Amino acid sequence: MEIVVYHSLTGNNRVLAAEIARRLGVSAVEVEAVRRRRIWTVFADMILRRDAAIRPLPAAAHAARSAVFVGPVYDMGLAAPLRAAVAALAPGLDAYDFASLCGWRREGEPEAVRAALTAAAGRPPRRMELMAVEDMMPAADKGRVTAIAAQRIGPADLGHWSAQIDRLTAPDG
Ligand SMILES: Cc1cc2nc3c(=O)[nH]c(=O)nc-3n(C[C@H](O)[C@H](O)[C@H](O)COP(=O)(O)O)c2cc1C
- Domain positions in the chain: 2-169
Q: What is the Å distance from ligand 1's center to 92 Cα?
A: 28
Give the chain's mean pLDDT: 95
With the most atoms of ligand 1 within 8 angstroms of its CB, the residue from 43, 75, 83 to mutate is 75
Q: What is the Å distance from ligand 1's center to 170 Cα?
A: 26
| Percentage of residues in the chain having pLDDT higher than 70 | 99
| Percentage of residues in the chain having pLDDT higher than 90 | 83
Q: Any idea which fold 2-169 has?
A: Rossmann fold (3.40.50)
pLDDT tier for residue 143 given thresholds of 50, 70 and 90: confident
Tens digits of per-residue pLDDT, 87-106? 999 999 999 999 999 999 98
Mean pLDDT of 39-68: 93
pLDDT tier for residue 120 given thresholds of 50, 70 and 90: very high
d(CA 155, CA 45): 29
Question: Which amino acid residue places its CA nearest to atom 2 of ligand 1?
Answer: 74
The residue among 20, 24, 76, 81 whose CA lies nearest residue 56 is 81
Using alpha carbons only, what angle is made at residue 27 by residues 163 and 98, rounded to the nearest 5 degrees? 45
Mean pLDDT of 133-142: 92
What's the predicted TM-score (pTM) here? 0.97
Pocket of ligand 1 (CB under 6 A): 8-13, 39, 42-43, 72-76, 101-104, 106, 109, 133, 149
Sign of the CA dihedral running 112, 134, 80, 41: positive
Cβ pair 16, 158 in contact under 8 A:
yes
Q: What is the Å distance from ligand 1's center to 72 Cα?
A: 5
